[in-house]
Amino acid sequence: MKFCRATVTFILSLFCASGLFAYNASDLVSASTYAKLQKDGVVQVSHYKEKGAKLSLVPNTPAAKEAYKMWTSDEEPVFLGEHLYLIPKSKLNASNPESVTIDAASKIVRSVSKMQGMTYYSHRSKKVKTLYESAYCIKGPKDRTRVADNTEGNANGKVLYAMLDDASFGKTNYRMEYTQNAQEVALHFINETGLSVMGISAVSKNNMHIKLVITDCGDSVMVYMAVMAKFPGIKMLEQTMNESFIARLDSIYTWFCKQF
């Protein structure tokens, strides 16, 4: 009996490692969303100053559904944006798609220093700009002493802190909370310091949340991202703020894809 149990456990672990327990992408989202993913590879939605706006693209998985809990304020966010991608593993790594695993993704989303130099296209300026002039892990929420990226082992339950010096908001400290299981890895960014734009205090501490969830879907990977933020509805800030939040999602997506 002991031998049988050990054998079954070993076989199950092999199945998990090989991706045989991966999700079916069509089961995770609505039929209409899946059709758009099949056609375009991406679905994007955003809401600005829309009362009652809700997350609408969240995949039906345990890690992704945590996104429903990330906004804890009694006041509604001013901006809400979601991006959902379905990416063939062969597109992420044509020579070795088998290398595209959750463990590999887990290391990637903890490689904060690789965010340095990431670019985005500014629709306002109509040119490519550098989003993060510098990016690295730090000792704590208020201590910007640089430390090495923590990429060893499983990410589940880990909490890291990072300093991102970006084009719009300057130097900002973030708390980064991770969850990981056999099929998914997720990252939740929360701003630990306030954000300012053009000398105006725009986003208070804990008022910007970004969620990234990577799900193994067999031959493909589903990537879900959401940003929720509260800031003053000042006319002169609207375009800058809205573009900045979308740029963050685009940059995080590029950060993930390029490392494969």
Identify the CATH number of the domain in which residue 177 sits: 3.30.530.20
Tally the domains of the chain: 1
Domain membership of residue 76 (yes or no) is: yes
- At 145 the pLDDT is 98
Distance CA 216, CA 211 (A): 17
Q: Per-residue pLDDT for the chain (260 aa), expressed as one digit of tens each?
A: 444 555 444 444 444 444 457 899 999 999 999 999 999 999 999 999 999 999 999 999 999 999 999 999 999 999 999 999 999 999 999 999 999 999 999 999 999 999 999 988 877 788 888 999 999 999 999 999 999 999 999 999 999 999 999 888 899 999 999 999 999 999 999 999 999 887 888 999 999 999 999 999 999 999 999 999 999 877 778 888 888 898 889 989 999 999 99
- pLDDT score of 73: 93
**Kind of pairing between the strands at 79-88 and 220-229:** antiparallel
Question: In angstroms, rounded to a whole number, what is the distance separating the alpha carbons of residues 5 and 25?
Answer: 31
pLDDT value of residue 15? 45
Question: Which residues form the domain of 103?
Answer: 22-258
The pLDDT value given to residue 198:
78
Establish if 2 belongs to a structural domain.
no
Contact 86, 252 (CB under 8 A): no
Of 217, 216, 190, the closest CA to residue 204 belongs to 190
Residue 227 in any domain: the answer is: yes
DSSP collapsed to 3 states, 77-103:
CCEEEEEEEEEEHHHHCCCCHHHCCHH
